Amino acid sequence: MTSISKETTNAVLTDLADALIFHVEEILVENAKDLAKMPAEDPKYDRLKLTKERIADIANDVKNVVNLISPLGEILSDKTLENKLQIQKIRVPLGVVGVIYEARPNVTADVFSLCFKTGNVAVLKGGSDAEFSNLAIAKIIHQVLNKHHINEDVLTLLPAERPATEALLNARGFVDVLIPRGSQSLINYVRENSKIPVIETGAGIVHTYFDESGDLEKGKAIIFNAKTRRVSVCNSLDCVLINENRLDDLAELLSPLADGRVELFADEKSYNLLKASYPTELLNLAKEEHFGTEFLSLKLAVKVVEHLDEALNHIASYSSKHSEAIISENPENIARFLNEVDAAAVYANASTGFTDGAQFGLGAEIGISTQKLHARGPMGLEELTSYKWVVRGDGQVRK
């Protein structure tokens, strides 16, 4: 893969973006076959669904990758020792990257574009829910590769059946790293059973804390956007924490959610306050299980906290370390939140909906890592590379 020139790499990806648009109707026909197998109320339905607009977004993400500078060959350090040995640390591909994912057909194009740009081979195992959609996109990728006389095996789409998952988990010596994308149960299963190093892209259990000094209008817009923009994605909001000194503003703060038909699971204090204004059929008294739940739907937990410390403790107890936000006008509280919250992405006065590779300027993304080794947060080109030490000498031997 490293023998393919940068010019050819970019030409392939440019042609792929155009081909996705050209074949949009074919993709939608295959996607409709997948959608017909899934109930519309399933939280995964929205992730599975493709439209002309979403395919255009996928194509634009591929074009974004074209415009990024490849990190391959980047010299991370360069030094000459006293013995005249020149030692360089240089970025190289990871090698063969395996990805196991569920009902997310966009992943097929996203992962290929990022892996191809960084000289990696992609081995993909999509779920049966998106089988027809994945096959359609993979077919288009192979057509573009063949056009440029590149071995189409640089993208391998494994069968959707479960035995292919087991084979991939045990492909030590053939696959260098494995990345699961999907539910917490999928991620846990891959981590516990893989013989290959795993980069976890965890589930998102996302909080927003409305501080005592929070701006009400900012808060209304941020919370509504973080919850309703696209409920089935991992950066969508799952729990609002509100400082008890702002309880008088709670009904107003959450009023846009009622228009969006968001079902609330409120602790006792917030429930007693909201029952006078929030639609009865959308308001429930929260149970312990509602805190620490990734809803992936129009559902939201609400909890009252005494102060910032209680908010921080709650987040530390229930967060999946994905994305967390504070709405505040207090610089000290903002600084504490950003410094003390342990998450891949932390926000002040902005929607967590921005946790996304394209939004972060990475082009597409291969996933959002919630671990701390090698990669954290949205994974783009650099996260798909490793490095090696290149040592040049002139006959030196070690004493």
Q: Where are the domains of the chain?
A: 6-201+379-392, 207-354
pLDDT the model gives residue 363: 67
**What is the C-alpha to C-alpha distance for residues 30 and 16, in angstroms, rounded to an integer?**
18
Closest CA to 115 of 130, 99, 129, 100: 99
**What is the C-alpha to C-alpha distance for residues 380 and 28, in angstroms, rounded to an integer?**
27
3-state secondary structure of 21: helix
pLDDT the model gives residue 49: 94
Opening angle at CA 356, ends 355 and 358, nearest 5: 140
**DSSP H or E run through 123:** strand 121-125
Q: Domain 207-354 is in which class?
A: alpha beta
CATH superfamily of this structure's domain 6-201+379-392: Aldehyde Dehydrogenase; Chain A, domain 1 (3.40.605.10)
Residue with tokens 């946790």: 355
- Give the number of other CB atoms < 10 A from CB of residue 142: 17
3-state secondary structure of 286: coil
Q: Which residues contact 309 (CB under 8 A, 6 or more apart)?
A: none
Beta bridge partners of 390: 88
Sheet holding 155-157, edge to edge: 155-157, 121-125, 96-101, 177-181
pLDDT the model gives residue 254: 97
Predicted confidence pLDDT, tens digits, the chain (399 residues): 667 999 999 999 999 999 999 999 999 999 999 999 999 888 788 889 999 999 999 999 999 999 999 999 999 999 999 999 999 999 999 999 999 998 889 999 999 999 999 999 999 999 999 999 999 999 999 999 999 999 999 999 999 998 999 999 999 999 999 999 877 788 889 999 999 999 887 678 999 999 999 999 999 999 999 999 988 888 999 999 999 999 999 999 999 999 999 999 999 999 999 999 999 999 999 999 999 999 989 999 999 999 999 999 999 999 989 999 999 999 999 999 999 999 999 999 999 999 987 788 776 677 788 877 778 888 889 999 999 999 999 998 888
β-strand pairing of 323-327 with 207-210: parallel
Query: Do the Cβ atoms of 123 and 175 come closer than 8 Å?
Result: yes
**What is the C-alpha to C-alpha distance for residues 27 and 251, in angstroms, rounded to an integer?**
44
| Amino acid present at 64 | N
**What is the C-alpha to C-alpha distance for residues 205 and 313, in angstroms, rounded to an integer?**
15
